[in-house]
Amino acid sequence: MVIVTDQVLGVAVVGFGWMGRVHTQAYARVPHHFPAAPATRLVAVADDVPGRAEAAAGQFGFGSWSLDWRALVADPAVQAVSITVPNFLHRAVGGAFLAAGKHVWIEKPVGLAASDAQALSDARSAAEVQVTVGFNYRHAPAVARARELVASGQIGNVTHARFRLFSDYAAHPDGALSWRFTRERGGNGVLGDLGSHGIDLIRYLLGDISAVVADTATFIPTRPLPSGATSGHTLGSGEPGPVENEDYFGALLRMDSGARVVLEASRVAVAEQNSYGFEIHGTRGALFWDFRRMGELGVGTGASPQDVPVRTIFAGPLDGEFGPFQPGAGIPMSYDDLKVIEAYGFLRSIADGTSHGAGLDDALRSAEALDAIGRSAGTGAWVSLPPAARP
């Protein structure tokens, strides 16, 4: 196990698409906002796309670069690693670094299924290192305020809620048939991509899930093969190939608390760009949040449960980690700010040996719920989550 006290922490990044860049920039920004965090040094970067890792090293100042992530596993200068590779590599890459005693910051959904998340959870227990998982939306300060309002009973007992994650990133029928659209490499499509975020937000705000019933659909059945390596969501120009996983899912969730939740996600929602958010209704009030207006929280409370007005409150320095970024309420924060908060939680976990933020237990709970949604979509029946999934 790597033990970090006051020395500079050597970090590596494996996979340098968009998310690898976001992680790298987050490490650089942590001391700007959290000066007490452990200092870091960018030791190495790996990516199998020719030229990508080399360019990253030149732009961001990594000490070395490689086409093969395995070269970084045995490097004693690497004490912590960001894993931002495609889903099918999460288990192999994460397992190798955990076995080598490295701390890991890994992107969601942590593999292709719950079995992958479980394997990494077991490896983490054996290695006694810290692992942070990239569920970034829970770090929005307005979401932190919502969690406090729910927990304190300000809106009464939660009765029902709706969570949505709509995007148009795959709405173009000529979008390239990248790894995201295959079972072997991308897993369960929009379930793992956006649905994993939805499950984490639901659990973070409302507690554990007891059962699900769901439906899924693939609306664009074929896509053209890409002409080369893909980064982000590019158009293809080759022969068409089959889309193997779902574009859309809708699910009804029963919570342990007795509340009911609707969770819906789509990657082909025309005219919807990152339309993520929730509505939470209780016996005495309601809460409303839209990621695109990240610092705003709609709050409806009153003396009577009827004709309740909704007011907008702005996240401020006392909400979550807003304070290290801005001095007063109403100043917007960004997506990248949420990843800086996540990076800080990762480094803080390494420093004090206590998990700060989402970890592998959260990834496993999310993956078990997603697997249950997939099974339900196949049968049309309710599927219960195993009691072991709800500590």
Domain CATH number, residue 189: 3.30.360.10
Q: Do 127 and 30 fall into the same domain?
A: yes
Look up residue 52 and give its two tokens.
Answer: 């990508």
Q: Do 199 and 129 fall into the same domain?
A: no
Q: Do 79 and 228 fall into the same domain?
A: no
pLDDT value at residue 302 = 86
Tokens 């970084």 map to which residue? 72
Q: Give the C-alpha separation, 48 to 60, whole Å.
A: 18
Residue 92 belongs to domain with CATH number: 3.40.50.720
∠ Cα 324 135 133 (to 5°): 100
pLDDT value at residue 390 = 42
Count of the separate structural domains present in the chain = 2
Length of the chain: 391
Q: Do 190 and 309 fall into the same domain?
A: yes
- Summarize pLDDT for 30-66 with one digit per residue, the tens: 999 999 999 999 999 999 999 999 999 999 999 999 9
Range of the domain at 41: 9-136
Give 63-109 as a DSSP string.
Answer: SEEES-THHHHT-TT--EEEE-S-GGGHHHHHHHHHHTT-EEEE-TT
Global pTM reads 0.94
Q: Do 186 and 101 fall into the same domain?
A: no
- Summarize pLDDT for 271-303 with one digit per residue, the tens: 999 999 999 999 999 999 999 999 999 999 988
**54 DSSP assignment:** H
Q: Report the first-to-last Cα separation within the chain, whole angstroms.
A: 26
Instruction: Return mean pLDDT, the chain.
Output: 94
Contact predicate 263/160, CB 8 Å:
no
Q: Do 273 and 180 fall into the same domain?
A: yes
Question: Would 348 be classed as within a structural domain?
Answer: no
- Summarize pLDDT for 304-336 with one digit per residue, the tens: 889 999 999 999 999 999 999 999 999 999 999
